[in-house]
Amino acid sequence: MCLGVIVGVSKAQETLKVKYESFLDVDLENIKIEDGTSLGDTNLMSSVEQAFSEKYYYDLILQDKESVWVPIEKIDNKQDEDNSILIMVNPGGGRIYKNASDGYLIEEKSISKTKFAVTNTIQDFHWEIERTEREILGMKVYKATSKIDSTRTLNAWYTPELQFNSGPSKYGGLPGLILELEVENIGKNSVHFKAIELNADVNLNINKLKPKGKKINFPEFDKLKNEYSQKKKEIYQDGVDISN
């Protein structure tokens, strides 16, 4: 069990590093693979079950109105075993830089083996703050919810004791740091994030942690991704490798 530790955190807007634990709650029977086959009809079920049952970790580095979300790399000690299948799971995505003052973010994404630093606007989640409260890491937190669309709902717990309007992955926009978040996809899956450790670390430089890759805006990246997906779909049955 991971215990939260608060070290040297003050009310001042110094640099703060928050470690989050993440896991997925997934209905594996409803997952389809690339050719439309149900996962349950393949020999991948046991490998996928193992991957989705594990926990994943991320650091959120915060300084005033800026933050960087950084995945903590996992070492898979089983990847060299005979007949093993490596399932890649990353519920929190890649590196994400957020600038709340200017209202934009930069997200690390990839198409095949090419990395991109994709610029987009920070989404307004139109939070509804509730009166429900409890404690996380010794701090009082309050509940807020957001309905993204007909199938996706956000359930967040934030603390005004830490005056950063950020949170896990792309999320933020509340009057305090989000310490726990559930991204609920009705009928599909849910992603959970929870802060387990906070540390003040003035030696961290946010600029050095920003996403790297070819700079591009979101509409341009979305167009490239769709073109790549269409090309892959068209030649999928021919067995041609376009990953290079």
**Contact predicate 154/184, CB 8 Å:** yes
Rounded-to-integer distance, Cα 17 and Cα 228, Å: 36
Model confidence band, residue 4 (pLDDT cutoffs 50, 70, 90): very low
pLDDT in tens, 96-128: 999 999 999 999 999 988 999 999 999 999 999
State how far the alpha carbon of 163 is from the alpha carbons of 11, 20, 124, 129, in Å. Answer: 8, 18, 18, 16
Token representation of residue 74: 């996992």
Where does the pLDDT of residue 27 fall: very low under 50, low under 70, confident under 90, or very high at 90 and above?
Answer: low
Residue 13 has pLDDT above 80, yes or no: no
Q: Are 30 and 188 in contact (CB under 8 A)?
A: yes
Query: Higher pLDDT residue, 110 or 50?
Result: 110
Q: What are the strands, taking DSSP E only, across 50-138? A: 56-63, 66-71, 96-99, 104-111, 114-121, 128-136
Mean pLDDT calculated for residue range 64-71: 95
| Prediction pTM value | 0.81
> Could you count the other beta carbons within 10 Å of the beta carbon of residue 26?
21
